[in-house]
């Protein structure tokens, strides 16, 4: 028989969103029996909600609470990695979380997240270098082009 978490996940998948009722169910389940899995589910649901009741900071705090509750579990760190990468656009912070998740035994999804993060960091470093070169040598390039 599926647990509460799986029933809630199933309802989110069915609706393709997290309704206020689903979020209330998660909150009630957390009061009854807090777990890292429920805190992660709360963070995921907040991101899929309409944004009226909860903020992205609430989602991040949910993932952090999951990591605090079960520090040896890779799932919360992986969730934090994806949150930092895709929502907060902070690849450097995401890298730290993905590396922690992998060190704790996370699977292919975390490895893929780390690859995306490293790629984004490299791309950002390349853009910064190009901008710096353009700033320093832009006049020279323009004169040479005349």
Question: What is the chain's percent helix, strand, coil content, to nearest 5?
Answer: 80, 0, 20
- Grade residue 94 by pLDDT with cuts at 50, 70 and 90: very high
Residue 73 makes CB contacts below 8 A (sequence gap 6+) with 36, 66, 67, 104
SS (H, E, C) 81-139: HHHHHHHCCCHHHHHHHHHHHHHCCCCHHHHHHHHHHHHHHHHHHHHHHHHHHHHHHHH
Instruction: Decide if domain 1-71 falls under CATH 1.25.40.
Output: yes
CB 62 within 8 A of CB 39: yes
pLDDT reported for residue 19: 92
What residues contact residue 85 under an 8 Å CB cut-off, 6+ apart?
A: 91, 94, 113, 116, 117, 120
Range 16-29 average pLDDT: 93
- pLDDT above 90 covers a percentage of the chain that reads 69
Lowest mean pLDDT among 28-37, 55-64, 106-115, 136-145: 136-145
DSSP letter at 69 equals H
Cα dihedral 89, 93, 103, 36 sign: negative
34-48 confidence digits (pLDDT tens): 999 999 999 999 999
- pLDDT bin (cut points 50, 70, 90) of residue 70 is very high
Would you kindly state where each structural domain of the chain is located, as residue ranges? 1-71, 74-146
Arithmetic mean of pLDDT, 54-82: 97
Q: What is the pLDDT of residue 4?
A: 83
């Amino acid at each position: 028989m599926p647990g509460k978490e799986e029933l809630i996940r199933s309802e989110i998948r069915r609706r393709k969103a997290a309704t206020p009722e689903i979020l209330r169910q998660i909150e009630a389940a957390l009061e009854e029996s807090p777990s890292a899995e429920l805190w992660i589910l709360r963070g995921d649901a907040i991101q899929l909600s309409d944004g009226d009741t909860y903020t992205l900071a609430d989602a991040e705090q949910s993932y952090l609470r999951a990591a605090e509750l079960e520090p040896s579990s890779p799932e919360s760190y992986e969730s934090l990695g994806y949150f930092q990468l895709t929502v907060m656009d902070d690849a450097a912070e995401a890298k730290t979380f993905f590396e922690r998740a992998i060190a704790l035994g996370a699977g292919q999804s975390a490895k893929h997240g780390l690859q995306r993060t490293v790629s984004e960091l490299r791309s950002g470093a390349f853009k910064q270098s190009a901008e710096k070169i353009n700033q320093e040598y832009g006049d020279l390039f323009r004169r040479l082009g005349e």
